[in-house]
Structure 1
């Protein structure tokens, strides 16, 4: 919702800037609207437009790179979950408690990180509200950390009786350590949002650019419509950038398919 509000604010600022420029042009004296003045304004605005396009490009590249990196890490995270479960399964019945703890953690991580996709019919409205406001990112909450720690304690409590079991226990411990480390990587990646100052400066620059456009534009339906569409397009661009900067929140998110498949593998 925050991204949508900011995008709407961008649209209002840009279109309002263009309209303000049109309004101002009708109240300026003729000597302020000469061809020489127009050339000077276009030169200055061109420099600002170049900087604005550079900032937009940097923001887009940054959030897209972070989003793709988070998506890859989620895939790797699910791979570790599955391979850990396989190692515990091969260990034998003595590892059933550790497998149950791992399944419980995986289900909890899926429910808390992607609550709409995993809301159960019997779940209360209070529980759904708690999930909706829970910290995301597989998952940055004390409850999630305790559940994952329980998996580690269960694995370390195993008492191997054969060389194969000893090897599988060592493998499970390594998988658990990698899982814990990658979880914190995902938490940090989910918190890497676009700096507020970037967004503010960009909005100011774009508003100034649109004001200069309106300053020397005729007031007719075509001009107003073009400014309206351009402001809407740039507002949409800002919306997409802000949405991708939060990989686990909003409309554009990392899909839960991999985690769902991991859970299915564990419970079958």
Structure 2
């Protein structure tokens, strides 16, 4: 679900609920707005507000945890690329074509994951998988002539295996699915809360402006949560700096 659309729905629900409460309060009889009624409504709305806070907290913790984990895995992935390149560089001239293939793969992975043209990222594309598989094939095809080369070939194979495994981890982490039912429930609950606020709020410009700003703020909070659920797409993304540094090392 598009984060901006959801944020707009949240804002409309909250501000519309507050306005509906103000409009309804003027048409209710006085005993419906008594002190006792206000206290009863506050108790019920307080429970709903507590549950809404809990759900928002769970959503934030889930997407933020996945975002931080993805950022760490990207750094780890870049480290594996550099250490693999170091092993191949020490291997000697026979590994030069493999280093070139590794550089091509890294360059392609950066271009697909963090495109500059405004296109959506391609996480786990077949082209990227084929390029990485070719690197592994070339490493296994090496024919060591010394003990050092044998050890370096074994080290390169281990690094390649780590890269291949971590690549699939990043693919799985590329999006944290926020259940649509959570979003729907949150919108309904927050709308009810603001509806109750509007029932007992004075009808004036200050109240309208405050409800407007609160609606924008909560809509923005939902927007940020949904944006973080896609670490490689949108406004809030994992930085590609580590991968670019790895590419510079490989190309150097």
The interval holding the TM-score normalised by the smaller chain is over 0.9
Give the Cα separation in 1 of the matches to 2:229 and 2:193: 25
Secondary structure at 2:79 match in 1: helix
Among 195, 218, 223, the residue aligned to 2:179: 195
Determine the structure 2 residue equivalent to 1:255.
239
Does the CA contact (< 8 Å) of 1:25 and 1:215 recur in 2? yes
Deviation by residue 1:109-129 (Cα, 9 ceiling, x = unmatched): 00000002xxxxxxxxxxx47
Give the Cα separation in 2 of the matches to 1:169 and 1:192: 37
Matches within 5 A, 1:217-228: 217-228=201-212
Give the Cα separation in 2 of the matches to 1:135 and 1:25: 52
- 1:3 CA displacement: 1.2
Does the CA contact (< 8 Å) of 1:60 and 1:241 recur in 2? yes
- TM score, norm. by length of structure 1: 0.91
Determine the structure 1 residue equivalent to 2:30.
30
Does the CA contact (< 8 Å) of 1:11 and 1:235 recur in 2? yes
Give the Cα separation in 2 of the matches to 1:102 and 1:67: 26
Matches within 5 A, 1:33-52: 33-52=33-52
Give the Cα separation in 1 of the matches to 2:100 and 2:34: 78
Matched, 1:155 2:139: yes
Give the Cα separation in 2 of the matches to 1:156 and 1:205: 58
Does the CA contact (< 8 Å) of 1:134 and 1:141 recur in 2? no
Secondary structure at 1:115 match in 2: coil
Matched, 1:242 2:226: yes
Matches within 5 A, 1:1-268: 2-116=2-116, 128=117, 132-136=119-123, 140-268=124-252
- TM score, norm. by length of structure 2: 0.97
- For the aligned residue pairs, the C-alpha RMSD in angstroms reads 1.2
- 1:133 CA displacement: 3.5
Give the Cα separation in 2 of the matches to 1:177 and 1:228: 53
Does the CA contact (< 8 Å) of 2:10 and 2:187 recur in 1? yes
Does the CA contact (< 8 Å) of 1:155 and 1:173 recur in 2? yes
Structure 1 unaligned spans of 5+: 117-127
- 1:134 CA displacement: 4.4
Give the Cα separation in 1 of the matches to 2:121 and 2:176: 18
Give the Cα separation in 2 of the matches to 1:112 and 1:213: 48
Determine the structure 2 residue equivalent to 1:121.
none
Give the Cα separation in 1 of the matches to 2:58 and 2:2: 21
Give the Cα separation in 2 of the matches to 1:164 and 1:60: 49
Give the Cα separation in 2 of the matches to 1:191 and 1:114: 15
- 1:83 CA displacement: 0.3
